[in-house]
Amino acid sequence: MRLTILGSASAKPTIQRFNAAQVLDVNGRPFLIDCGEGTQIRLKMADVHPMRIQHIFISHLHGDHMFGLVPFLSTLSLHNLLSPIHIYAHPDLEKLARPWLDYFCRDLTFPIHFHPVNPRACQVIYQDKSLTVTSLPLKHTVPTCGFLFSSEDPYYHLIPHCVEDYRIPIAAMNVLKSGADYVCADGRVIPFREVTTPPRPPKRYAYVSDTAYKPSLIESLQGVDLLYHEATYNTALEDKARQRGHSSARQAALIARDAKVKRLVLGHFSSRISTADQQQSLLDEAREVFPDTSLAHDLSVFEF
Ligand SMILES: [Zn+2]
């Protein structure tokens, strides 16, 4: 998996930090997570072509997490996209977006499927043969869900030069990839262990967008490879954080520590935490609790 941060600000964007958006690359497929204003520009800067995105996950209906959505869809139509776009979000998103789409994008070239997400339930909202996405109910001022992306590689991978060396017939390829030996018509056996490499290890990424400190998340986040957790405020502003449905960096680090995640990335910083010194002290507060913590910056990339 490879995570690219497109926007790491909270409500007010700055030149350095745009509103919330990320793109998660899972075995070469990009999944867009939140779509704040400016997402299209950041996608260009990150060299991700918008036409490659088929699935969009929106955590909640605050503008800083979705004001970029309709413009993004409009641009896809200008590219003459034909294949469907799938959007996973609170059911109200369709009610809000449809009138805009009907007005501004009358000749939309592709269908949009809105998949309503129940913000109170931890449930599978997307699944294909190698990826499962589960919703993570959060504690914010409006119904909000984080997302847990779990990738599982179901296949062994053929070693290119073995295809020639072992004269592997086309019919044998899927058998070998499934982890079974192949018996040729002449009785010759091709052992899958000699011609393949094992499936890639499973990976998990958790996106915890806006939320107050919520220890009940710890169970769902156990051992994830990368946790992105909002850290809008510093420790001194924890009362304000609780009132506004946000967390401090220290609280995010407590979640990471108690869930034994491998790595923590903090983002969604308040405009009160705008100088390099303020951001460094936010990071220091988190690292006291969970050392393997990084700050998100727009366009920073995390591979795992
Ligand atoms: Zn919010």
Residue 90: per-residue pLDDT: 97
Among all residues, which ones are annotated catalytic?
64
How far away, in angstroms, is 207 Cα from ligand 1 center? 14
Q: pTM, whole model, 2 decimals?
A: 0.90
* Among 303, 235, 299, 290, residue whose Cα is nearest residue 264: 290
CATH code that applies to domain 2-154+199-303: 3.60.15.10
Token digits of residue 136: 């993570």
pLDDT computed for residue 251 by the predictor: 97
pLDDT value for 158: 93
Compute the distance from residue 288 Cα to the ligand 1 centre, in Å.
27
Kindly list the averaged pLDDT for each block of 10 residues, start to end, along the chain of length 304: 95 91 95 97 94 97 96 94 96 96 92 95 94 97 97 91 88 92 90 92 96 96 97 89 93 98 96 86 96 97 96
Q: What is the model's pLDDT at position 167?
A: 86
CATH 3.60.15.10 in the chain: give the residue spans.
2-154+199-303
Q: Which residues are near ligand 1, the ion (C-beta closer than 5 Å)? A: 62, 210
Quote the ligand 1 centre to 298 CA distance (angstroms).
18
How remote is the CA of residue 36 from the centroid of ligand 1, in Å? 11
Cα–ligand 1 centroid distance for 212 (angstroms):
10
pLDDT for the residue numbered 182: 93
For residue 191, the CA-to-ligand 1 centroid distance in Å is 54
